[in-house]
């Protein structure tokens, strides 16, 4: 693939990232995603299309709103850049249909993780969006339905077992029900073995993050920690690494 298609795919990905930023802002406050048009969260002024170009507008405006001169959160260019980069990776690795489905699903995960990181909630609408992409992937032939069913079972059963063990030992709920729903779609996407690896890596990342926060802010065993970002980071990492052991085990289950 030459540099021109790569740039085009990256730009399309940043447009999707701009849409994800809108979801990240509006879904937690139950604001319609259709109207009003894109606007500054501070002064509420409508943003014209020529000031809403992903990444470019942020750089030209030096990270400030053109109407009220208030600073624009770095979330916006970061989400756009991450989404654009993942779209490029997908189309470099996979055939077009598989790449499109993977890019769409990854985009849903980015919005899920960011919202959970900010608000400690996982919108059901994004879970449903993930299910729709998975069903489309099965119809398009990029995922096998047995693979999806086994993975979905693992994605729900293993976190539920972990939640039960945690509650039995500490009398605290280690994960939220949104994490179980996220496990459902991640398992369907990854398959059972890679889902198990994802949960292990996510738990490890969560422990490391919790220790780092405790060292900075002081020890508090009741401090809540959003788990979706670690699940998503782990899932995307493992998916793109395509563990040979995991795929061998998944294929064995399908025999």
Does residue 85 sit in the same domain as residue 1? yes
244 pLDDT more than 50: no
Tell me, yes or no, whether 70 and 113 share the same domain.
Answer: no
pLDDT number for residue 245: 46
Instruction: Indicate whether 122 and 51 sit together in one domain.
Output: no
Same domain, 193 and 255: yes
Task: Confirm whether pTM is higher than 0.85.
Answer: yes
Judgement on whether residues 61 and 178 belong to the same structural domain of the protein: no
pLDDT at position 243 over 50: no
Q: Is the pLDDT of residue 174 over 70?
A: no
The answer to whether residues 78 and 182 belong to one domain is: no
What is the average pLDDT across 1-22? 90
The tally of domains found in the chain comes to: 2
Ramachandran region, residue 44 (left: φ > 0; alpha: ψ -120 to 50; beta: rest):
left
Our CA angle for 189, 203, 107, nearest 5°, is 35
Residues 103 and 89 in one domain: no
Phi-psi region of 63 (alpha: psi -120 to 50; beta: other; left: phi over 0): left
- Name the average pLDDT for the chain: 86
Rg (CA), the chain: 19
- Same domain assignment for residues 140 and 159: yes
**Owning domain of residue 48:** 1-93
In a shared domain, residues 146 and 167? yes
Residue 215 CA, chain-centre distance (Å), reads 27
Residue 82 and residue 112 in one domain: no
Q: Which has more pLDDT, 178 or 223?
A: 178
- On the 0-12 / 13-18 / 19+ scale of CB atoms within 10 A, 109 is buried
Domain boundary among 61, 93, 125: 93
Higher pLDDT, 172 or 105: 105
For 211-220, what is each residue's pLDDT tens digit? 888 888 877 7
Same-domain check for residues 74 and 119: no
DSSP β-bridge partners for residue 229: none
In degrees rounded to 5, what are phi and psi of residue 244?
Answer: -65, -35
State mean pLDDT over 139-145: 92
Mean pLDDT computed over 162-180: 71
pLDDT tens, position by position, 97-124: 999 999 999 999 999 999 999 998 999 9
- Residue ending a domain, choose from 60, 93, 126: 93
With H, G, I as helix, E, B as strand and everything else as coil, classify residue 71.
Answer: strand
């Amino acid at each position: 693939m030459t540099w021109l298609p790569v740039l085009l795919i990256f730009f399309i990905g940043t447009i999707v990232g701009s849409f994800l930023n809108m979801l990240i802002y509006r879904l937690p406050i139950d604001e319609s995603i259709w109207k009003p048009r894109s606007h500054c969260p501070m002064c509420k002024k409508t943003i014209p299309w020529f000031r809403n170009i992903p990444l470019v507008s942020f750089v030209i405006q030096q990270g400030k709103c053109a109407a009220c001169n208030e600073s624009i959160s770095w979330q916006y260019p970061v989400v756009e850049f991450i989404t654009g980069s993942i779209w490029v990776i997908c189309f470099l690795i996979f055939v077009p249909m598989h790449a499109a489905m993977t890019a769409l699903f990854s985009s849903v995960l980015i919005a899920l993780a960011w919202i959970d990181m900010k608000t400690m909630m996982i919108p059901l609408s994004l879970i449903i969006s993930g299910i729709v992409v998975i069903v489309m992937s099965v119809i398009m032939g990029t995922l096998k339905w047995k693979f999806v069913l086994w993975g979905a079972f693992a994605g729900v059963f293993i976190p539920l077992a972990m939640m039960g063990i945690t509650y039995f030992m500490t009398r605290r709920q280690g994960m939220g029900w949104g994490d179980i729903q996220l496990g459902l779609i991640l398992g369907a996407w990854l398959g059972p073995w890679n889902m198990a690896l994802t949960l292990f890596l996510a738990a490890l990342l969560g422990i490391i993050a919790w220790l780092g926060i405790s060292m900075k802010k002081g020890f508090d065993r009741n401090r809540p920690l959003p788990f979706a970002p670690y699940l998503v980071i782990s899932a995307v990492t493992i998916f793109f690494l395509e563990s040979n052991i995991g795929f061998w085990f998944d294929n064995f289950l399908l025999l």
